[in-house]
Amino acid sequence: MSERKLILVCNDDGITAPGIRALVAVAKEFGDVVVVAPDKPQSAMGHAITINATIRVNPVKVDGVIEYACSGTPVDCVKLAVNKILHRKPDLLVSGINHGSNASINVIYSGTMSAAMEGAMEQIPSIGFSLLDHSIDADFSAAQDVARILIAQALENEMPDRICLNVNIPNVSKELIKGIKVCRQAIANWEEEFEERKDPSGKPYFWLTGIFKNYDSGTDTDIWALENNYVSVVPCQFDITAHTTLNHFKSWEQHV
């Protein structure tokens, strides 16, 4: 009998977040699950790692699943899982289910997707899941259905080397989701504003706010898919070389 699949589950909202509980429940259907996740929310940490502080890991067993609450970032969680906690490289890494969108430019800031990207760097098939609902009472049932489909695909079909998937699920009922679309990342940005406020002692502080602006009219993007009630799936890579511009800059080369 073949060895059971080993699935690593991470996130950035913290080990007690409802989203990761929903993802663990699905992952358990496919094999042995180990959870290594932050002990507190670590949203928008990007690919940060801890280099100037200690990292602590507290193990606990929950409903037959071994879980580790880590004081570090989502990427720290993956690094520790691969290097110190797991007895072998996992067959799959799943991250999420994030509370809120990681579509378009949000992928750059996302701790959820950075955990998946770190998995890809370790040559582990990796998927990050996000639901476009920030509510603590969000309904993750549709997102679980999507996770179930894509986890099965990832385990049954070989994923390209060093590629991870950024999966976003629209905040609508199951019945309104039209399907799953493989997309490109939309060209969009945040128009940011720092609100200046005062604390109780009268000292100023700043609070980041902003408006998301989509500059992309394409119908093949993740934003279009989500706005039209499709699940978006964007293949991502950590090679951020602008390959299409290499010839443009060739004339800048010099020999010394």
Per-residue pLDDT tens digits for 73-115: 999 999 999 999 998 999 999 999 999 999 999 999 999 999 9
Q: Is residue 212 situated within a structural domain?
A: no
Instruction: Say which CATH number the domain at 162 has.
Output: 3.40.1210.10
* pLDDT of 1 strictly over 70: no
Cα distances (Å, whole numbers) of residue 13 to 31, 33, 37, 136: 23, 18, 8, 11
The pLDDT value recorded for residue 2 is 52
* pLDDT of 50 strictly over 60: yes
What is the CB neighbour count within 10 angstroms for residue 105?
A: 18
Task: Give the pair of three-digit tokens for residue 127.
Answer: 């998927």
Q: Is residue 100 situated within a structural domain?
A: yes
The pLDDT value recorded for residue 33 is 95
Task: Give the pair of three-digit tokens for residue 145.
Answer: 């259905």
Q: Is residue 25 situated within a structural domain?
A: yes
Question: What digits encode the pLDDT tens for the residues 55-70?
Answer: 999 998 877 788 999 9
Q: Is residue 193 situated within a structural domain?
A: no
Q: Is residue 55 situated within a structural domain?
A: yes
Q: Is residue 33 situated within a structural domain?
A: yes
Which residue(s) pair with 168 in the sheet? 130, 232
Question: What digits encode the pLDDT tens for the residues 29-40?
Answer: 999 999 999 999
Q: Is residue 245 situated within a structural domain?
A: no
Instruction: Name the pairing type of β-strands 126-131 and 92-99.
Output: parallel
pLDDT bin (cut points 50, 70, 90) of residue 146 is very high
* pLDDT of 43 strictly over 70: yes
Domains in the chain, number:
1
pTM of the full structure: 0.93
Give residue 168's domain range.
Answer: 6-185+218-240
Task: Give the pair of three-digit tokens for residue 93.
Answer: 């890494």
Q: Is residue 207 situated within a structural domain?
A: no
Question: What digits encode the pLDDT tens for the residues 120-132?
Answer: 999 999 999 999 9
